[in-house]
Amino acid sequence: MALVTSEKMLLDAQRGGYAVGAFNVENMEMVKAVLAAAEELNAPVMLQTTPSTVKYGSLETFAAIVTAEAKKASVPVALHLDHGSSFELAVRAIKEGYTSIMIDGSHETFENNIEVSRKVVEVAKPNGIPVEAELGKVGGKEDDLEAEADTNTDPMEAKEFVERTGITSLAVAIGTAHGFYSGTPVLDKERLSEIRKVVSIPLVLHGASGLSDEDVKDCVKRGICKVNFATELRVAYTDGIKELLKEKPDTFDPKNFGKAGMEKVKELVKNRILVCGSDNKVIK
C-alpha cells in the first residue's frame, strides 16, 4: 500500500494499548528487513532516518526506496524524519514525501523549542503531516548532538508545550539514553504516568536500544505509543556481515553481505514488534 502518515497508527496504538515500533534504517537492505518483519507479524511500522543518514544518502533517495517498498507491503508504513535538526530540513523532508516529521528543539531553551516546533507544525499541518517534538533531554549521543546528562520531562511543561505548539506526538525524557547503556538504566516511570495524566496526545520513547523487554512493556502500559529502535539495528546488521566473513572469508559479492545483514535485522525487528505488542494489529 502507499505510505501513510503516523497520526492514525499512533492514535490506534493509544486506543489499543500497544506501541508502534519505529526503526531507524541506513540502507535499502534494512528497509527490506524491517518491512519483511512487519509483514510477517501483521504490524504497522515506521521507518526512520536521522539527519546524518539523509546527509549520507539524501532525503530523495530514502523517500524513493521506502515509497517503492511500501507499495508492495500489505501493512501500514510511515516514513519518519527522526531528530530533525532544523526547520529547513523538516520542510525539505515534507516536500520529498516523508509522511511524519520530528523536529528536535530539545537542546534549545523551552521558549525556543516551542517556537521552532510551532513553525514546523504550521507548515506540516496544511499538508496533513503529523509532527513529533521532544521536551527534556534524552541522554547519550544521537548523530552530532550529545547530552551529557538527562534532564527529564516536567509534566506541566509538557502540557503547556503541547498546547502551545499543536504537535501530534511528544517524545519524553524519563531516563533513557541514545546508544547503548554503560550501566543499568533507571527509568522514572512514575514521571511517565504523570505526563500521561496531563498530555492527551501519543507519547514517544527514545533510546530503547538496550532496555529490557519488561521496561519497554511497562512504559507502553503507562502510555507510550511509539518506541524508537536504532543502535541495535545497526549492530545486528553489522553482526550478520561479520559472521558471514568469519564463516566464508572469501565472500566478495555485496549482495551476500546484504542478505546476511537483513536476516539479523529481520529477526531483531520481529522481537521488538512483539515487545511493543503491535503484532496482528492490522485489519485486512
207 marked as binding residue? yes
- Tell me if residue 128 falls in helix, strand or coil: coil
Longest dimension (CA), the chain: 59
Classify the phi-psi angles of 139: left when phi > 0, otherwise alpha if psi is within -120 to 50, otherwise beta: beta
231 marked as binding residue? yes
Strand order of the β-sheet with 145-147 is: 145-147, 139-142, 177-178
154 marked as binding residue? no
Report whether 224 contacts 19 (CB < 8 A): yes
229 marked as binding residue? yes
User: What are the helix (H) ranges across the chain?
Assistant: 6-16, 28-41, 51-57, 59-71, 87-96, 110-124, 155-165, 189-198, 213-221, 231-247, 254-276
- The interaxial angle of helices 254-276 and 231-247, nearest 10 deg, is 140
263 marked as binding residue? no
Catalytic option among 82, 150, 215, 279: 82
- Residue 248 CA to residue 58 CA, distance in Å, equals 33
Among residues 175, 161, 174, which one has the least CA distance to residue 109? Answer: 161
152 marked as binding residue? no
256 marked as binding residue? no
- Tell me if residue 216 falls in helix, strand or coil: helix
258 marked as binding residue? no
107 marked as binding residue? no
Transcribe 31-64 into DSSP letters: HHHHHHHHHHHT--EEEEE-HHHHHHH-HHHHHH
179 marked as binding residue? yes
Q: Is 82 a catalytic residue?
A: yes
209 marked as binding residue? yes
Binding site as annotated, residues for Zn(2+): 83, 104, 134, 178, 206
> Looking at the annotation, which residues are catalytic?
82
Binding site as annotated, residues for dihydroxyacetone phosphate: 179, 207-209, 228-231
Binding site as annotated, residues: 83, 104, 134, 178-179, 206-209, 228-231
